[in-house]
Every structure is written in structure tokens, then in C-alpha cells.
């Protein structure tokens, strides 16, 4: 259901157009119009999650844009809705600000403004809106929580205490009591407005049937005026007559409180009865020795814990002695019923088991040779209470587990092992350790100290290399270094290194005892210290460990070479000109070499007259056949003109070196110095006698005479249009008449020209591009206005228009003007100036007298003249002046808060069963016709009436104290009577209830249930009550007489 709020009405004459803003408040419950707060709660609970605004505007086609703004109490903008054209018929705001964040609770204001196409603005005054997501506070309790609703009981009823608060007021509330096992509803207390402080439950259901013994759960729900709901956590109330029954179990039944982290604590698991849950007043758990002496007592008030832990300490805080103990559990409920669990036994054991282990032999060689292939573990275990598990673990020297023997009983006294891991693979050589770990039934553990063993079946592993592999006893690489590393699980006994020639004859031998330590360097000599011939040699390394495991490595090759390389270098040119002109820009150098050994590195070096290195080409491996030099230095800068020397040198892989004798080469890059300029830079070759020709002024300076020259003229597309050229010396002046090589006039625009000259030795120079212009075209113009529709001297942001102008011309401009022409083609206004017009002109719609021009459309032309007299006129821009005002209407709606109170409320009192129906649900404001939406509610009430066919029924109408007057009902009394009669007629006509059972009666505002000081209380007073009266011993002659006997007016 929707209610409309906030009524304000304003009319003002705005330029002969009526404008008004409407915000309506209409109460469906009464005719009086009043201002009420509008609430919403954007919390996604489905209840008033958004604020809904209905918008309307007259002459929608004249609206340019609209703005709907929400501000906080300080006036700061929170949310803005905008759009072009007329506003939508409605806005639905979800309470989020411009950053898509929910706004905080508080009072806000909203307003709507619209702007016409001409910029005229109308804005409604701010209206109030309340955002409330804060749920009300609520709490509920019961005293006593255990009661017995029987006659003569000391606790025949349970009293529920309720309290709730919300800053914006409580809308409705309900206290529900449900069966804790089935979840079915048993009893409800409810109402609208502030809840009653206390409700009394006599143990009967809403159907007035006694509730059975057991536990019940109750919650208290409160809803505020914004629809925010708080539901308290469920609490319990119990009807109980049964005695408490509880069992207890110890887990584990054997424990060891020795602080080793394993079964240190025994947990007594308390198990209440599965059917009846008791409210326990006190409880106790006792532990006794086998003589019945108390060792430990646990006790407490209220419900016992589900588990109690015992660390094995007695009442004095000392660990109890090992042995068997008995435990029992006692409970007493709030009624004094005692429940006793029979004693059970548990075992306390803190003594760890005793064990020894040895392996024979400690050195294993599981290689199948029959010597040391197996070892035997000998184990002795002492434990009176039995072993729960054991683990024999073998680990490597870094602690990684390799093999484990495990079991869940006492281990055998002997166990054989063949040196294999968990995958039955023989372990690698090395040192290992073994240990035995045992755990008894109480979790006590014993671990025997680790002992060492060793496995060795693998020959030594050799890693070695020779560096360098090519040596030259008379060069840089004079020795070959043997870098050898030997890896073995056992110690090394002996080693040998031999170097053999191509015929496998040993030319040098090295031997040693124990580990190989120092690297060996062979200098290319035999046992007699003589130099060996150049050629290929092989080195072999042999080693044996103390387990008699031996290995001979594969050969490592060594090459001996001492021959010096033979080299030559030849230049293709004795001089060159590296100036990138395409003529002798580079010099080529041919490199040749011959060597026994491979070339390791080479270099071609250039030095200046002072023997300073300026450029060096170098590389690794074989040199290239040719090197190209462009005269650059190593830093890539060009070398200056002059004479240079170059040398070619190489080094082979054995370190042998050679280089050529220095040779000369010359660089000559001197270019001519030239200059040109155009006079004038702007000309107009149109045969009018003014600037028809252009003259190029030329100059040339060089030690060599000029061989040829040319002036190249290009258009804007870089295409050549004219070439002026000659041989020999350059002239001082060259004339151009603006024609192409085909003697045709070239089009207007920018052109570039370049002077090029080459001297007698081929050095060429060219000037930079220079720009010249040719112009015979008048200016090209455009003009545009924004906005094209505006309202001068108004509060609108469209109180002026801006003209944006563009001018394209090759020449400078001398003067300009803006001409304004009205619809009758009369000039209404002109703006003018000298030089180039501004890019933007702001016009406020006024003439030279500052008077606003009449409403209507105007054409605006831009006229411009350039420095050569060419004049251009733009296409017109059209602007419209409009000072009219719009008509705007805004209506806001407030969604009704769904009530927590059932629509059909029945309460049994001294008069009988009373069903209370809200008038807002049944009727429209000021009317007595039943709304179709109310039919299901009346049908439900009729069902209650039919349960009591022998009882008489009163139907009473009530109103608030706000006066009413319309054609049908002159006052509240007649309205209440009409509504009561309408309900009776519905029961008789549609529900077939006998008319003799029903009596309608109206009380007007004479019997309020709350004061009429605020809208909430007035809503409570607007109601229809249906009273199903109690049965009388004697029936009266008429329902009216019964009413008088009950003391009713």
C-alpha cells in the first residue's frame, strides 16, 4: 500500500506562463491533510528498500534537461539524477550516493529542477526524506525459565519481559513461542506501537490447549517505522516434571598424564538423555581409587559441560600414582531430582617401556659377493602393560628416512636387513643411523639413542677436465691444467695420471697415494723435460678406494701447437671521402691468413698521425675476408680529413701472435659552403603587377670550383613542380614566375625549395628546405553557435551563446565582422574588429544598447578580408532566443510498512474472544465500502466465528478524533456505524452466518485504545473489533438487551 506525503503548493506568473510545484500528502485513513515524515530503509531486506518519486512536467517537449538532487542536512549533495529532455515519470532511489555507497542514516532533502531548451530553470523547494537502516534495539527474557502450569504449582506461569527502542518509533512487535523439537508455533503475543513491558503465559497454546512438558523456544521481533526488523536470539522456557538421567564415558580408558603430549588427559564425556533435556541445578563427577577413597572431585551449578578433562592430578595438585581408578557422575535438577551414573574404571599409566637394540655387523656391503651382504638387529623390550606400536627406522646422514620396520605389537627379538630401502633397492654408499621407538597402551614412548652403520659397494666417481686443451709452450697458453675431483663413500687408496701421444705411448706420468689433492699442470714436456712435438695427446686418470673399487676414466684430449700464423692486408683505395654522398664513401680492406692452429682472435686497427688508436675492428675465430671502413671512430664519430695508418694482427688458439707492417690511407670530406634565400617569401603570380615574381639569392664558397648547381621547388605533397639548374659557377639571382616545368601556373599553397651544388672532386652540398607561399584565394570561413537556443539575462546556465569561428587563409587578415539578420532579413546587430577574428565570441543576446533582442531565430554571418584584399563570407549560424518558463509537478510516495502483527488478531478476555481488524485494511479513507483486498482477512475472521456456533457476536466500529464531514457521513459516529454494518452484511451475505447472531455497533472516537497525539496512535484507534461473547447461562431476548446487561452503552 502506498501513502503520498508532503503537501506544498505555489503558483507564480513567469513571463505569461503559469508554473506550479506540488508535493501532496494524502492519508488513506482520514480526510485531513497533514505533513508526515517519509521513511525508507535501503538495506535489501525487501521492506521499503528504496524511495520512490513520481515526476511530471507540462510541455515536456520544451524541456532541455532536468536534475533531481538529494542533499544532507548541511546542504551537501549526496545523489544527483540528471537527464536530457523531460524527466521520467518516476525515480526509484536505492539510497546509494554518487560513489555507489549507501548513505548514512539521517534526515535528507530532495528537490527537482528543470531547464527549458532556452535555459529557463524552475526548481521546487526541498522536501524531507528520512533514511533509517538502524534496526531497533530489542531484548526479551523469561522468569522463571522452568515452570509447571498445574494447579497448586508454585510456578504456574512464565513472565516474559520485553523492551524495545527506536529513535523513529516502533511500528509493530511479536513474541513467538515454538516447540523446540518440532519448531511448531505454540503461542504468540503481539501488538502495534511500543510493546507491553510484560506478558504472562499460562502454558496454553493459541488454541487454548495445554502445552505438553518439554522445552520451548521464544523470540521477540520488533519492526520500526522504516521497516527495519530486529529479532532476538532464541531463548528457552521449559515445562518439566521428569527426573534427570545422565551417563558418562571416559576417553581414552587408559591415559598417561606425563606431559609428553600423548594421552596426557582423559576426557569424561557427559551424555544427557536423548529425549528429555533437563535444567540441571548442580552436578558432580568423582574419581576414586580401588579402596573407595576420593581422589578428585569436579562439581558445578547449572547445566554440566558436555566434556570434563582430567590431567591425572588429585585434589592437592599431585599426579596420581599408576593404577586403576573408578569414576561416577551425579546430577540434580531444579526440582531436586537426583540422577546417578554407575561407577566405571579407567587406568593411569606414566611409566615408559624399556628397550635395547644392536646391529651386527656395522659395515655392510650388500652387493651379492657373499661378504657383508646382510645385518641382524638384536632387540630386547620390557613393558608390563604391553606395547601398542613400534618403529625401527634407518636414516641417511642428513636424516632422511630410508627404511622402516613398523608394527602394532611387541617386536621380534631378531630382525635381518639386506641393506635395502623401502622400495627394496640397495642403498647407496654412505653412513646411516638406526633407532628403535616404542609406545605402550597409555601413549608412553621410548626412543633408543641412534647408532651408526656404513654401506659401500660403489667404485670411486671421477669428475675432471683439462683447460686449456690447446697449448703452445712458446705462446700465451703454456700449460694444460688437470682439474680432477674424486667422490667415494670410502677413503681413496691410490691414483695415477698418464699422458699418451697419438701412438698411445706414455710421454708423461703422475702418481700418488691417498686422496688426490693438488691440480696438475702439464707444460708440454716429456719425462725427460724435453718439448714434445706439435700434435694431439690423450690424458687418462685411474683411481682405487680402500674397498678395492677402481675406475679408469675416458681420455681427455690436449693439442700442442707452436707455429706462428702468416697474414696480409690490402686496401682497395688509397684515399676516400666518407661523407655519405654516394661517391667513395667507404674503403674496403682484404684480409688473408694461414695458420696451423685455428685463429682465436683478430683485429684491424687504425691510428692517426700521432699514433693514437681511432678505430679498431676485431673478432673471435676466423677473420672475415673483407672489412669495410666508413671513416668512423670507435665512438662512431667521423674522423677528420687527413692521413691514417692501419695494421692487421691475429692470435691463434695456442696464443701465437703476428701483425702486418703499418700502411697509409687518406680521408677527404670537404664540401662546398652554399646559401640561398627567396625575396619575397610570399608572392602572388596573377599578373596584377604586385609581387608577380620571386627571386632566389645564391652564394657559393669552396676551394674547388663548382661543377653544377640546381634549385628544386616542391609542392605541399613533396612533388617537384620546377627545377632551375646550371653548369659551372652559380649566378647571384635566379627568377621564378610561379610556373611549373610545363609552363603552367601552379596552385595556391606552400612550397619548399632547395639549392644543391657539387664541386669538381664530387663533394656535394645542399641547403635546408625553405618555405615560400603563393596566395590568390580569399579566406575560407566557418561559424557555429552553442547553445543555439538560449535565454538572455536569466538565471539559467544558458543565458548566453558562444560563437566558435574558424578562418583558413594563406595570408594575414585585416578586418572582420559578425552580422545578425532576423527572420525578416533585417540586420538586427553587428560585431566587428580588425585583424584576425577571435576563435570564440560570447554573446548575451543584447544589441549595442544592452537591450535583449526579441524572441525568435537569427542568422549570423562571419565576414573576413585578408591582406591582399580577398574577402570571404561564411554560411550562417542560426540561434534562437526563448525566455518562456515551464510547469512542473512532483509527487513523492511512501510505502506502508508491513506489520509484524497478524491481520486477524484474536485475544480472549473477560468479554470473550476479541478479533481486532485495522480500518486502513478494510476501507478507503472516509468510506464504509469494504476493499476487495480485505476479503481474505474477513474470511479468516468468519472461520473463527464459525468455531463457536452458540455464541453471539458483536461487530464494533471505532475511529480516531480527527473530524470528518462528507455527503455520506457527517461525523465519525455515523462513519463507525456504517463500517460495522458493512462487516455484518459481508458475514451474512457471503459467509452464511445467521444475522440473529450478529449485532453491529459504532462508537466513533469515544473508545480509543491510545491517545490521538500522533499518527501512529490514531492509526491504532481506527479499527473494527469483532467480539465473540462468552456463552451465558440464559439467553437474552435480543442482542441489544445482552449489550445493556454487559454494561455497554
pLDDT tens per residue across span 390-434: 999 999 999 999 999 999 898 999 999 988 999 999 888 888 999
User: Is a pLDDT exceeding 80 seen at residue 275?
Assistant: no
pLDDT digits (tens, 9 = 90+) for 485-503: 888 877 788 999 999 998 9
pLDDT digits (tens, 9 = 90+) for 787-801: 998 888 887 778 899
pLDDT at 356: 92
**Nearest one of 108, 229, 208, 225 to 149, comparing CA atoms:** 208
Q: What average pLDDT does the segment 663-692 reach?
A: 83
pLDDT at 622: 92
Q: What average pLDDT does the segment 375-398 reach?
A: 88
Buried b (16+ CB within 10 A) or exposed e, 848-880: eeeeebeeeebbbbbbbbbebebebebebbebb
User: Is a pLDDT exceeding 70 seen at residue 660?
Assistant: yes
**Residue showing cell 677413503:** 491
pLDDT digits (tens, 9 = 90+) for 127-147: 899 999 999 999 999 998 888
Query: In whole angstroms, what is the distance from residue 979 CA to residue 29 CA?
Result: 13
- In which band, very low, low, confident or very high, does the pLDDT at 761 lie, cut at 50, 70 and 90? low
Q: For the chain, list the domains and their CATH numbers.
A: 137-239 (2.60.40.4070), 247-348 (2.60.40.4070), 354-441 (2.60.40), 461-560 (2.60.40.2550), 566-667 (2.60.40.2550), 673-762 (2.60.40.1930), 780-883 (2.60.40.10), 903-1045 (3.30.1330.60)
User: Is a pLDDT exceeding 70 seen at residue 579?
Assistant: yes
pLDDT at 13: 30
Query: Taking a C-beta distance cutoff of 8 angstroms, is the pair 543, 516 a contact?
Result: yes
pLDDT at 547: 63
HEC profile for 716-761?
A: CCCCEEEEEEEECCCCCEEEECCECCCCCECCCEEEEEEEEEEECC
Express as a percent the part of the chain with pLDDT over 90: 43
User: Is a pLDDT exceeding 50 seen at residue 32?
Assistant: no
DSSP state of 281: E
pLDDT at 1004: 93
> For the ranges 529-533, 635-639, 909-913, which has the lowest average pLDDT?
909-913
- In which band, very low, low, confident or very high, does the pLDDT at 310 lie, cut at 50, 70 and 90? very high
Pick the residue with more confidence: 11 or 449?
449
C-alpha cell at 1039: 442482542
pLDDT at 243: 64
In DSSP terms, 431 is beta-bridged to 454
The radius of gyration computed from the CA coordinates of the chain, to the nearest angstrom, equals 57
**Strand pairing class (663-667; 575-576):** parallel
**CB-based burial label for 816 (10 Å; 0-12, 13-18, 19+):** buried
Query: In whole angstroms, what is the distance from residue 661 CA to residue 647 CA?
Result: 6
- In which band, very low, low, confident or very high, does the pLDDT at 302 lie, cut at 50, 70 and 90? confident
- In which band, very low, low, confident or very high, does the pLDDT at 686 lie, cut at 50, 70 and 90? confident
What integer best gives the mean pLDDT of the chain? 84
Highest mean pLDDT among 212-216, 453-457, 727-731: 727-731
pLDDT at 620: 94
User: Is a pLDDT exceeding 50 seen at residue 1046?
Assistant: no
User: Is a pLDDT exceeding 90 seen at residue 79?
Assistant: yes
pTM here is 0.36
Highest mean pLDDT among 534-548, 601-615, 929-943, 1026-1040: 601-615
User: Is a pLDDT exceeding 50 seen at residue 192?
Assistant: yes
C-alpha cell at 650: 691475429
User: Is a pLDDT exceeding 70 seen at residue 30?
Assistant: no
Q: What average pLDDT does the segment 733-739 reach?
A: 92
Highest mean pLDDT among 451-460, 871-880, 1024-1033: 871-880
Express as a percent the part of the chain with pLDDT over 70: 88
User: Is a pLDDT exceeding 70 seen at residue 1049?
Assistant: no
Residue 396 sits at the vertex; the CA angle it makes with 392 and 397, to the nearest 5 degrees, is 125
**Residue showing cell 538532487:** 69
**CB-based burial label for 1045 (10 Å; 0-12, 13-18, 19+):** exposed
User: Is a pLDDT exceeding 70 seen at residue 229?
Assistant: yes
pLDDT digits (tens, 9 = 90+) for 803-859: 999 998 877 888 999 999 999 999 999 999 999 999 999 999 999 999 999 888 999
Q: What average pLDDT does the segment 756-784 reach?
A: 85
Query: In whole angstroms, what is the distance from residue 189 CA to residue 176 CA?
Result: 7
pLDDT at 906: 64
pLDDT at 446: 92
User: Is a pLDDT exceeding 50 seen at residue 29?
Assistant: no
User: Is a pLDDT exceeding 70 seen at residue 724?
Assistant: yes
pLDDT at 34: 36
- In which band, very low, low, confident or very high, does the pLDDT at 316 lie, cut at 50, 70 and 90? very high
Pick the residue with more confidence: 1044 or 426?
426
Query: Taking a C-beta distance cutoff of 8 angstroms, is the pair 306, 269 a contact?
Result: yes
Query: Taking a C-beta distance cutoff of 8 angstroms, is the pair 409, 441 a contact?
Result: no
**Nearest one of 834, 856, 997, 983 to 923, comparing CA atoms:** 983
pLDDT at 877: 94
**CB-based burial label for 465 (10 Å; 0-12, 13-18, 19+):** exposed
Pick the residue with more confidence: 245 or 323?
323
Query: In whole angstroms, what is the distance from residue 636 CA to residue 633 CA?
Result: 5
pLDDT at 277: 67
Q: What average pLDDT does the segment 7-33 reach?
A: 28
User: Is a pLDDT exceeding 90 seen at residue 274?
Assistant: no
**Nearest one of 407, 426, 520 to 465, comparing CA atoms:** 520
pLDDT at 891: 55
Q: What average pLDDT does the segment 307-315 reach?
A: 92
Amino acid at each position: 500500500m502506498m501513502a503520498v506525503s508532503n503537501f506544498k503548493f505555489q503558483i507564480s506568473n513567469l513571463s505569461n506562463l503559469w508554473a506550479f510545484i506540488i508535493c501532496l500528502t494524502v492519508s488513506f485513513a482520514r480526510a485531513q491533510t497533514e505533513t508526515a515524515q517519509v521513511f525508507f530503509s535501503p538495506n535489501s531486506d525487501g521492506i521499503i528498500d528504496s524511495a520512490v518519486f513520481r515526476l511530471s512536467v507540462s510541455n515536456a517537449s520544451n524541456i532541455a534537461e532536468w536534475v533531481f538532487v538529494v542533499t544532507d542536512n548541511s546542504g551537501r549533495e549526496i545523489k544527483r539524477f540528471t537527464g536530457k529532455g523531460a524527466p521520467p515519470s518516476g525515480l526509484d532511489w536505492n539510497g546509494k550516493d554518487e560513489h555507489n555507497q549507501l548513505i548514512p542514516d539521517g534526515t535528507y532533502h530532495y528537490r527537482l529542477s528543470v531547464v527549458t531548451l532556452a535555459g529557463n530553470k524552475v526548481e521546487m523547494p526541498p522536501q524531507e526524506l528520512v533514511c533509517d537502516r538502524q534496526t531497533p534495539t530489542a531484548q526479551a527474557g523469561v522468569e522463571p525459565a522452568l515452570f509447571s502450569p498445574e494447579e497448586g504449582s508454585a510456578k504456574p506461569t512464565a513472565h516474559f519481559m520485553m523492551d524495545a527502542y527506536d529513535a523513529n518509533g516502533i511500528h509493530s512487535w511479536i513474541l513467538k513461542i515454538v516447540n523446540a523439537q518440532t519448531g511448531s508455533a505454540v503461542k504468540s503475543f503481539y501488538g502495534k506501537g511500543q510493546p507491553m513491558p510484560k506478558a504472562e503465559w499460562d502454558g496454553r497454546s493459541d488454541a487454548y490447549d495445554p502445552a505438553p512438558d518439554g522445552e520451548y523456544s521464544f523470540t521477540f521481533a520488533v519492526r520500526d517505522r522504516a521497516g527495519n526488523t530486529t529479532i532476538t536470539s532464541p531463548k528457552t522456557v521449559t515445562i518439566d516434571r521428569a527426573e534427570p538421567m545422565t551417563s558418562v564415558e571416559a576417553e581414552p580408558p587408559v591415559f598417561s598424564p606425563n606431559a609428553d603430549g600423548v594421552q596426557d588427559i582423559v576426557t569424561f564425556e557427559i551424555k544427557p538423555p536423548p529425549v528429555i533435556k533437563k535444567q540441571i541445578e548442580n552436578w558432580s563427577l568423582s574419581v576414586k581409587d580401588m579402596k573407595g577413597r576420593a581422589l578428585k572431585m569436579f562439581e558445578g551449578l547449572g547445566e554440566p559441560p558436555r566434556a570434563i578433562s582430567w590431567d591425572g592430578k588429585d585434589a592437592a595438585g599431585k599426579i596420581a600414582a599408576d593404577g586403576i581408578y573408578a569414576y561416577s557422575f551425579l546430577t540434580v535438577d531444579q526440582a531436586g531430582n537426583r540422577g546417578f551414573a554407575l561407577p566405571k574404571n579407567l587406568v593411569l599409566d606414566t611409566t615408559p617401556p624399556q628397550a635395547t637394540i644392536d646391529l651386527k655387523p656395522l659395515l655392510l656391503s650388500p652387493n651379492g659377493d657373499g661378504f657383508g651382504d646382510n645385518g641382524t638387529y638384536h632387540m630386547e623390550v620390557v613393558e608390563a602393560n604391553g606395547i601398542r606400536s613400534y618403529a625401527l627406522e634407518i636414516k641417511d646422514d642428513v636424516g632422511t628416512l630410508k627404511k622402516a620396520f613398523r608394527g602394532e605389537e611387541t617386536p621380534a627379538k631378531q630382525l635381518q636387513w639386506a641393506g635395502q630401502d623401502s622400495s627394496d633397492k640397495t642403498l647407496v654408499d654412505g653412513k646411516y643411523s638406526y633407532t628403535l621407538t616404542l609406545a605402550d597402551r597409555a601413549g608412553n614412548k621410548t626412543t633408543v639413542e641412534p647408532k651408526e652403520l656404513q654401506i659401500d659397494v660403489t667404485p670411486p666417481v671421477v669428475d675432471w677436465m683439462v683447460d686449456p686443451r690447446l697449448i703452445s709452450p712458446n705462446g700465451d697458453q703454456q700449460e694444460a691444467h688437470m682439474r680432477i675431483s674424486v667422490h667415494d663413500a670410502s677413503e681413496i687408496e691410490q691414483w695415477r695420471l698418464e699422458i699418451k701421444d697419438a701412438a698411445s705411448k706414455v710421454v708423461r706420468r703422475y702418481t700418488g697415494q691417498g686422496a688426490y689433492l693438488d691440480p696438475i699442470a702439464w707444460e708440454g714436456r716429456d719425462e725427460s723435460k724435453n718439448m714434445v712435438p706439435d700434435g694431439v695427446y690423450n690424458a687418462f686418470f685411474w683411481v682405487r678406494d680402500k674397498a678395492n673399487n677402481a675406475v679408469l676414466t675416458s681420455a681427455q684430449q690436449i693439442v700442442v701447437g707452436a707455429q706462428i700464423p702468416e697474414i696480409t692486408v690490402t686496401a682497395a683505395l688509397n684515399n676516400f671521402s666518407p661523407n655519405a654522398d654516394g661517391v667513395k664513401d667507404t674503403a674496403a680492406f682484404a684480409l688473408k691468413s694461414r695458420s696451423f692452429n685455428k685463429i682465436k682472435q683478430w683485429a684491424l686497427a687504425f691510428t692517426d698521425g700521432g699514433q693514437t688508436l681511432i678505430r679498431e675492428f676485431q673478432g673471435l675465430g676466423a677473420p672475415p675476408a673483407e672489412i669495410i671502413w666508413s671513416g668512423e671512430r670507435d665512438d662512431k664519430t667521423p674522423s677528420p680529413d687527413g692521413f691514417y695508418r692501419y695494421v692487421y694482427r691475429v692470435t691463434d688458439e695456442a696464443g701465437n701472435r703476428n701483425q702486418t707492417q703499418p700502411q697509409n690511407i687518406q680521408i677527404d670530406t670537404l664540401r662546398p659552403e652554399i646559401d640561398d634565400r627567396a625575396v619575397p617569401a610570399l608572392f602572388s603570380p596573377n599578373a596584377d603587377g604586385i609581387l608577380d615574381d620571386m627571386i632566389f639569392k645564391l652564394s657559393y664558397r669552396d676551394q674547388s670550383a663548382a661543377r653544377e648547381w640546381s634549385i628544386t621547388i616542391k609542392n605541399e605533397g613533396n612533388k617537384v613542380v620546377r627545377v632551375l639548374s646550371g653548369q659551372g659557377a652559380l649566378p647571384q639571382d635566379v627568377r621564378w614566375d610561379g610556373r611549373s616545368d610545363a609552363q603552367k601556373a601552379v596552385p595556391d599553397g606552400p612550397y619548399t625549395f632547395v639549392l644543391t651544388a657539387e664541386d669538381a672532386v664530387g663533394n656535394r652540398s645542399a641547403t635546408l628546405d625553405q618555405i615560400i607561399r603563393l596566395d590568390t584565394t580569399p579566406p575560407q570561413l566557418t561559424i557555429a553557435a552553442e547553445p543555439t537556443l538560449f535565454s538572455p539575462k536569466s538565471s539559467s546556465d544558458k543565458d548566453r551563446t558562444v560563437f566558435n569561428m574558424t578562418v583558413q587563409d594563406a595570408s594575414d587578415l585585416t578586418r572582420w565582422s559578425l552580422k545578425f539578420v532576423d527572420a525578416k532579413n533585417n540586420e538586427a546587430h553587428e560585431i566587428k574588429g580588425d585583424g584576425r577574428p577571435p576563435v570564440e565570441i560570447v554573446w548575451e543576446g543584447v544589441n549595442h544598447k544592452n537591450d535583449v533582442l526579441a524572441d525568435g531565430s537569427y542568422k549570423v554571418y562571419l565576414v573576413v578580408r585578408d591582406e591582399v584584399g580577398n574577402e570571404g563570407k561564411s554560411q550562417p549560424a542560426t540561434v534562437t532566443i526563448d525566455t518562456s518558463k515551464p510547469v512542473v509537478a512532483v509527487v513523492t510516495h511512501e510505502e506502508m510498512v508491513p506489520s509484524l502483527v497478524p491481520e486477524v488478531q484474536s485475544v480472549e478476555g473477560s468479554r470473550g474472544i476479541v478479533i481486532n481488524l485495522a480500518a486502513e485494511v478494510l476501507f478507503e479513507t472516509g468510506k464504509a465500502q469494504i476493499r476487495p483486498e480485505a476479503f481474505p482477512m474477513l474470511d479468516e475472521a468468519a472461520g473463527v466465528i464459525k468455531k463457536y456456533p452458540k455464541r453471539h457476536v458483536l461487530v464494533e466500529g471505532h475511529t480516531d478524533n480527527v473530524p470528518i464531514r462528507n455527503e455520506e457521513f457527517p461525523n465519525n459516529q455515523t462513519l463507525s456505524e456504517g463500517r460495522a454494518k458493512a462487516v455484518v452484511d459481508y458475514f451474512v451475505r457471503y459467509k452464511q452466518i445467521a444475522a440473529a447472531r450478529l449485532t453491529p455497533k459504532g462508537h466513533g472516537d469515544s473508545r480509543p485504545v491510545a491517545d490521538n497525539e500522533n499518527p501512529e496512535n490514531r492509526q491504532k484507534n481506527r479499527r473494527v473489533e469483532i467480539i465473540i461473547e462468552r456463552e451465558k447461562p440464559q439467553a437474552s431476548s435480543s442482542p441489544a438487551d445482552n449489550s445493556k446487561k454487559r454494561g455497554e452503552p
